[in-house]
Amino acid sequence: MHYWKGLDAVPTDVAPTVVTIGNFDGVHLGHCEVLDAVVSLAKQRAAKSVAITFEPHPALVHRPDSAPELIMGLADRVDTLASVGLDAVLMIHYTLEFADQSAEEFVKSIIVDTLHATAVVVGHDVRFGRNNSGDFEYMQELGRRYGFDVIGVDDVGDKRRLSSTWVREELAAGNVEAAASILGRPHRMRGEVVHGAARGRELGFPTANLSADASGIIPADGVYAGWLVDEADVRWPAAISVGSNPTFDGISRVVEAHVMDRPDEGVEDFDLYGQQVVIEFVSHLRPMVAYRGIEALIDQMAEDVEQARSVLALEQH
């Protein structure tokens, strides 16, 4: 998949294309319905399938104090967009100046003059241009004016429309299974493994601690079953702890994964420090609580590991 950072990176001979527009935070199943339609129509028309998206998220530019937390980082968003079979992603740097374009200017400069689109595929709730003045009906009008088709895709979801907002709500509640049912895959975080307080090692359960600047929403405090994917793309079963270590009067929230079934239990033989890893959250096991005494905590951690192992074994079958 081609990854074009800005309009200047788009080849002049890219035509024809089938295009969609969106923030695609999380690239959930509702997004995938639109993206699949783009890829399918592009193949029918011997065209390039292109998703236009924005960085940073427009909400971070317009209302930085109240913008939603992003479900995934930019690298994961691009990787996930690539996985649906798109030919290209056009990443536009979002600024207040860019946002001041009229709806027609946005369509003409990007969809018509740069991408030479033969069709635009969008949800019926699409908004674009200055103050979100452009809507689906106006996109149809511009399509007639500039010679491209506009195809609307209905919302996905039975009782509630699938949305990034819904994913955020489920993660905030620790419902990673529900979030995965909206995303179509487990929620993931990505970050560097850094040195922590080494308490897990001292208790017999060494952990890989994610750096504070790791990308992806941190789910609710608790213990989870999941996977750690290392830089060699090896997936390791893991018991994952999210929280501030209340037994030790911790303050800052930490995401740490105890990798199970390592080739050797010696920490020095399984060094993840400095690696960029992915942590996937499969199942919520229990809330985070403070224990009276170290022995009670160790017993609970051993039980968490066994429960995580059972959950992940079932997932693989």
Contact 26, 11 (CB under 8 A): no
CA distance 154 to 102: 26
The 3-class secondary structure across the chain, one letter per residue, is CEEEECHHHCCCCCCCEEEEECCCCCCCHHHHHHHHHHHHHHHHCCCEEEEEEEECCHHHHHCCCCCCCCCCCHHHHHHHHHHCCCCEEEEEECCHHHHCCCHHHHHHHHHHCCCCEEEEEEECCCCECHHHCECHHHHHHHHHHHCCEEEEECCCCCCCCCCHHHHHHHHHCCCHHHHHHHHCCCEEEEEEEECCCCHHHHCCCCCEEECCCCECCCCCCEEEEEEEECCCCCEEEEEEEEECCHHHCCCCCEEEEEECCCCCCCHHHCCCCCCEEEEEEEEEEECCCCCCCHHHHHHHHHHHHHHHHHHHHHHHC
Strand duo 149-153 + 235-243: pairing: unpaired
Query: Of 69, 44, 50, 37, which is closest to residue 10 (Cα–Cα)?
Result: 50
Could you tell me the strand order of the sheet in which 2-5 lies?
2-5, 88-93, 48-55, 17-21, 117-123, 149-153
Catalytic residue, chosen from 97, 104, 169, 256, is 256
Please report how the helices 176-183 and 29-44 are oriented relative to each other, as an axis angle in degrees rounded to 10.
20
- 256 counts as catalytic: yes
Residues noted as catalytic: 256
